[in-house]
Chain A
Amino acid sequence: MSAVAASPRRPRVTLRAATAVLSLVGVAVAGYLTWVHYAGLEPFCVGGGGGCERVQSSEYAELLGVPVAVAGLAGYLALLGSLALPEELSRMTAGFLALTGAAFSLYLTYVEIVEIHALCQWCVVSAVLMVALAGVSVARLSRTPSA
């Protein structure tokens, strides 16, 4: 009986867990970039090449005076926080945050490639995480309440 009752809830629980895991990884990535920004350090870049430093020291690294890394950290923390909200509000909040984050991450990746001519590996990882979070959030939103 208990197995039958738990079955419909499993996809929802899995999607919430996926949101939590992806957001936690995002907090780690954006937190690291925020730390190196304020500590005045160079981000560790696999294979060298200086792409991370070039991107992080560019004019695009700030939006209205706020470092993009800080905005990303706030976004991931908000996504984590959204899981504490009632289910319906949680799905809508996470969907809005993740879709916005994914769209802006894709814009920043375009800027890195086309205008700065350098790729920051940490930013690429963050963009992938945001796109994955957007996918998970859309899946959560697409489910009917009884699903």
Chain B
Amino acid sequence: MSSRVQQKDAARKRREAIEAEERRAGQRRGARRRLAIIAAAAVALTAGAVTVSRLSQEDAVAQPDAVSQRFAGLPQDGIRLGSPSAPVTLVEFADLQCPFCGAYARDVLPTIIERYVRPGKLKLELNLLTFVGEDSVKAGRMAAATTAQDRFWGFTDAFFAAQGQENTGYVTDDFLEATATAAGADHDAAAGDDATADRVLEQAQTAADRLGVSSTPTFFLRRGHDETPLKIDDLTVDTFTAALDAALR
């Protein structure tokens, strides 16, 4: 009698043990399934975020090497270059035909970008005026139109690199197309974007009138709403950076 009770008790315990093990196995399977679903959702969301991040860089990657290296990783927004949160803006007024503007762009600007813009100390704003002659107007309109593609800085950089003698008629359609191509800009789209060209050049002229700009290049430093002239004796890297350092101190 006692033996049968013991056997039934042992059988019940075995059954309970098996059921408990099956329960635990089911829970482990459930945990693994949950983990797999959550991991898949996390991978999907990350893939989406990475795609958005890559797409926003795609255009910059498509720029020619020389241009993309100089401006690589720097935010461009219309006529502005550099981090939007940079505390000070170096505001420049220039004419694409002006030889001193070209000398500044070729000899000084690369150092300004590396030393001040890349570290986030300064952002740049380039206002184009078109008073030197008809070539200034043609070049300025094309450059202004490339702001809609955020290729303005690449365009002006390429233009100044190939700058010719003032008012010799070198700013042909072919010259502008080659400059736009060098900047990675869509030439045809820019050539047809009169609205952007008008707006950007008008804003530059309005700002020049307000600040009393009478020659190019002319520089100002803007902190908040405060704009102060940056006096430069000669356009060399040392003179320019010394003036900037003193002004930013």
- List, in ascending order, chain B residues with CB within 8 A of A42's CB: 119-121
Q: Select one of A38, A63, A116 contacting B85, CB under 8 A.
A: A38
In the assembled complex, the Cα of A62 lies from the Cα of B53 at a distance in Å of 8
B86 at the interface (CB under 8 A from A): yes
A142 to B31, CA, bound (A): 6
Is B242 on the interface with A (CB-CB < 8 A)? no
- Chain B at the A interface: SS class: helix
| CB of A82 closer than 8 Å to a CB of B | no
* B45 interfacial contact with A, CB 8 Å: yes
Task: Tally A-B pairs: CB < 8 A.
Answer: 98
Q: For the complex, what is the distance from the CA of A141 to the CA of B87, rounded to whole Å?
A: 45
Measured between beta carbons, the chain B residues less than 8 angstroms from A138 are: 35
Q: Chain A interface: which size bin?
A: 35 or more
Query: Chain B residues with Cβ under 8 A from A100's Cβ?
Result: 42, 45-46
- B window 41-58: CB within 8 A of A: 41-43, 45-46, 49-50, 52-53, 56-57
Is B133 in the interface zone, CB < 8 Å from A?
no
Contact indicator A63/B52 (Cβ below 8 Å): yes
Chain A residues numbered 96-112 whose CB sits less than 8 Å from any CB in chain B = 96, 99-100, 103-104, 107, 111
Q: Does A56 contact B (CB under 8 A)?
A: yes
Q: Is the CB of B118 within 8 A of A54?
A: yes
In the assembled complex, A50 has its CB within 8 A of some CB on chain B: yes
What B residues does A142 contact at CB under 8 A?
Answer: 31-32, 35
User: Shortest beta-carbon distance, B173 to chain A, in Å?
Assistant: 32
Closest-CB distance, A31 to chain B (whole angstroms): 16
In B129-153, the 8 Å CB interface with A consists of none
A14 within 8 A of B: no
Complex Cα distance, B242 from A139, in Å, reads 57
Chain A interface (Cβ < 8 Å from any Cβ of B): 37-38, 40-42, 50, 53-54, 56-64, 92, 95-96, 99-100, 103-104, 107, 111, 115-116, 138, 141-146
